[in-house]
Amino acid sequence: MIFLTVGTAMFDPLVKVMDKMVGDSIIKEPVVAQIGRGQYIPRNMRYFRFIKSLSKAYDSADIIVSTGGAGTTIECVTKGKRLVVVENTTLMEGHQAQLIGEMARRGHLIWCRDPNSLEDCIEEARQKTFEPFVSQKPRAHELILSLLGESE
Amino acid sequence: MKRIAVVLGRGGHTAQTFALVDLLGNRFSYLYLIGLLDRLTPKKVRIKGTIRRVLAPRLLPQDSRILSMIRTLFTMLLSFIYFMLYRPAAVVSCGTGLTVPVFYAARFLGIKTVFIESMSRVESLSITGRLLRGKTDLFMVQWPGLADRIPEAVYGGQLL
């Protein structure tokens, strides 16, 4: 199963491209799309708008196509999922490029810079090995505790 | 029990913020400040607390400046009232655009402010981060390279 997610925003261009690929039988496996506040309603694939947690969808997907939101990106690379990112450049403060770039450089995701080349990116994701990203230990809470004079 | 006010926006910020709240745990009580129309975020709260609503300064890119300014002032006023009522020891934010007016209200009341730049920021600060650097009690970033570049910033590890 391929899982497409746009996160809390919307990104119709990507949903449209994917829907067309399914309609044209370029993609033969089932696709499920989370379309957020999008206006475009898919005709060829199952879809839903929002759900409390996408974790189950990530777990059952073979390939995840996302728009590069921090939450999705980090959850998927940490799990070592096959992740293809088409950056949603329409967002206001949507400068996700830094995180996507860093994760792409480290080989944890495939950065698909053109939605029209999605087919190739998905094929590349099928072939590639994705090593899970191991994040650094947080110490933000320790710094906050010491700021407030609380002990661990 | 000390209370911590938590500023919550949409999307990836939220996951990072709740990860931080999990780490801070039950030793604090929480006041969650959430955007007015945001129905999804309250459902994600894992450690229970009081939820109060504020207004996001910008809802859409095409929103007029005047409208954003009014919203910002209104949020500052709302935060001021909530802080007077709930007296948090600190207010924390993981980078949402909602943060600036909330932090101004906190500073005015002498409440400690903690800003953690989103993990999406690997090389440079967000607009919110740029506006707040040097104006908070604690300013953290989640990538060591970024901490090296910003003198006011402390590396706080990674939340996710």
The predicted pLDDT at position B27 comes to 95
| Dihedral sign (CA A115, A54, B55, B80) | negative
pLDDT digits (tens, 9 = 90+) for B142-156: 999 999 999 999 999
Chain A residues within 8 A of B10 when measuring between CB atoms: 8-9
CB pairs under 8 A between A and B: 112
Mean pLDDT, residues A3-8 taken together: 92
The predicted pLDDT at position A122 comes to 97
Q: ipTM exceeding 0.90?
A: yes
Distances (CA, A) of A120 to A63, A126, B5: 13, 10, 46
H helix intervals, chain A: 12-23, 55-60, 70-79, 97-105, 118-127, 140-147
- What does the alpha-carbon distance between residue B59 and residue B68 come to, in Å, rounded to a whole number? 8
- What does the alpha-carbon distance between residue B94 and residue B7 come to, in Å, rounded to a whole number? 8
Chain B residue with minimum CA distance to A53: B44
Q: State whether residue A55 is helix, strand or coil.
A: helix
Q: How confident is the model at residue A113 (pLDDT cuts 50, 70, 90)?
A: very high
The predicted pLDDT at position A70 comes to 84
The predicted pLDDT at position B59 comes to 61
- Kindly state the tokens that stand for A93: 């403060």
The predicted pLDDT at position B15 comes to 87
Chain A residues within 8 A of B4 when measuring between CB atoms: 144
Mean predicted lDDT score pLDDT of chain A: 93
DSSP letters of B96-133?
-TTHHHHHHHHHHTT-EEEEE--TT-SSS--HHHHHHT
Whether the predicted pLDDT of B11 surpasses 80: no
Cβ contact, residue pair A73, B159, below 8 Å: no
- Kindly state the tokens that stand for B37: 């129309």
CB nearest B11 (choices: A8, A53, A145): A8
Chain A residue with minimum CA distance to B97: A93
Cβ contact, residue pair A137, B157, below 8 Å: yes
Other Cβ atoms less than 10 A from the Cβ of A56: the count is 10
pTM of the predicted model, to two decimals? 0.85
Whether the predicted pLDDT of A78 surpasses 70: yes
The predicted pLDDT at position A93 comes to 55
